[in-house]
């Protein structure tokens, strides 16, 4: 048995394979992650992967866990202690989740969009931390709906938001969509409504935007500029 002094211990080899697969996934997409390519990139033989991970899905799971671990350890790890405001904790967790999805598009699409197969360990781990955060809301008496319902709603909203953002070109992404979705869910979930913004002004503005293209007496440039400003005003996060 390789004690410690081998050129590369079993864990080292494992880590090297995971690193190679991660790099391949990030730089060349999911289709480039093939057992042979990973083995060659890691400097091992193909069957080694099967001895260490059992399966290609096992490799993917290990990659997901590794990327998630290095991501959370790369963050400042603040506010993880259960000290702060439960709502603020959920918010920061949500932001981290969205940011993670946008930072690792290939990986996220790979693990979050499994058909009817069993969810990946990374997915259930993420669900667990989300469950803890929702649990804190419940024990604080802040929830208006069933705890399980709240969990599913936050999870669905987050997953859907990330997939929607990933599905559109980088420069067209509505980065405030995440905040808006979280606000929507929180408003329906929390007992204490977190202050909804004004209504009449925005409604009128939105209605006006729909008739803008038919407005006579304006140049196209003027109309485009007005549309852009309207969009910016309506998209602006209300403090």
Partner DNA sequence: ACTCCCTCGTTAACAGCGTTACGTCAGCGA
Partner DNA sequence: TCGCTGACGTAACGCTGTTAACGAGGGAGT
Binding site for a second copy (CB under 8 A): 29-30, 105-106, 109-110, 112-116, 119, 135, 138-149, 152-153, 155-161, 163-164, 166-167, 174, 176-177, 180-181, 183-185, 187-189, 191-193, 196-197, 199-200, 202-204, 206-207, 209-211, 230-231, 234-235
Residues 53-72 that bind DNA (CB under 7 A): 55-57
- Closest by CA to 108, choosing from 125, 123, 95, 93, is 123
What tokens does 235 get? 């998209």
- Closest by CA to 56, choosing from 30, 94, 23, is 30
153 binds, among DNA, a second copy, none (CB under 5 to 8 A by kind): a second copy
Task: Verify binding: residue 114, DNA, rule CB under 7 A.
Answer: no
What tokens does 86 get? 């439960």
Question: Among 11, 12, 28, 51, which residue sits at the site for DNA (rule: CB under 7 A)?
Answer: 51
Buried-state track 82-105, b at ≥16 Cβ within 10 A, e below 16: eeeebbebbbbbbeebbebbbebb
- Closest by CA to 157, choosing from 179, 136, 124, is 179
Residues with Cβ within 8 Å of 108's Cβ and at least 6 positions away in sequence, in order, are 100, 101, 162, 166
Residue pair 80/141 in contact by the 8 Å Cβ criterion:
no
164 binds, among DNA, a second copy, none (CB under 5 to 8 A by kind): a second copy
Residues 5-34 that bind DNA (CB under 7 A): 13, 33-34
Residue pair 137/83 in contact by the 8 Å Cβ criterion:
no
Q: Which is nearer to DNA, 115 or 169 (CB)?
A: 115
Shortest spacing between CB 221 and DNA, in angstroms: 44
Shortest spacing between CB 13 and DNA, in angstroms: 6
Shortest spacing between CB 108 and DNA, in angstroms: 19
Q: Which is nearer to a second copy, 92 or 159 (CB)?
A: 159
Q: Which is nearer to DNA, 50 or 71 (CB)?
A: 50
Q: Is 143 helix (H, G, I), strand (E, B) or coil?
A: strand
33 binds, among DNA, a second copy, none (CB under 5 to 8 A by kind): DNA
CA distance 152 to 114: 17
Name the residues that contact DNA, by CB under 7 A: 1, 3, 13, 33-37, 44-48, 50-51, 55-57
């Amino acid at each position: 048995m390789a004690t410690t002094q081998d050129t590369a211990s079993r864990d080292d080899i494992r880590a090297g394979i995971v690193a190679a697969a991660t790099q391949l996934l990030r730089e060349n997409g999911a289709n480039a992650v093939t057992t042979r390519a990973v083995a060659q990139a890691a400097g091992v033989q193909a069957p080694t992967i099967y001895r260490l991970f059992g399966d290609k899905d096992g490799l993917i799971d290990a990659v997901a866990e590794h990327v998630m671990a290095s991501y959370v350890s790369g963050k400042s790890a603040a506010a993880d202690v259960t000290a702060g405001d439960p709502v603020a904790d959920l918010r920061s967790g949500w932001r981290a989740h969205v940011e993670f999805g946008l930072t690792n598009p290939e990986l996220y699409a790979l693990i979050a969009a499994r058909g009817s197969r069993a969810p990946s360990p990374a997915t259930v781990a993420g669900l667990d931390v989300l469950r803890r955060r929702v649990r804190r809301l419940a024990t604080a008496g802040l929830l208006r709906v069933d705890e399980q319902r709240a969990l599913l709603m936050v999870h669905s909203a987050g997953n859907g938001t990330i997939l929607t953002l990933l599905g559109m070109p980088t420069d067209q992404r509505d980065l405030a969509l995440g905040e808006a979705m979280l606000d929507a869910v929180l408003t329906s979930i929390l007992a204490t409504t977190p202050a909804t913004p004004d209504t009449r002004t925005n409604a009128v503005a939105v209605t006006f935007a729909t008739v803008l293209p038919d407005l006579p007496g304006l140049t196209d440039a003027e109309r485009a500029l007005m549309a852009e400003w309207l969009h910016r005003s309506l998209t602006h996060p209300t403090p």
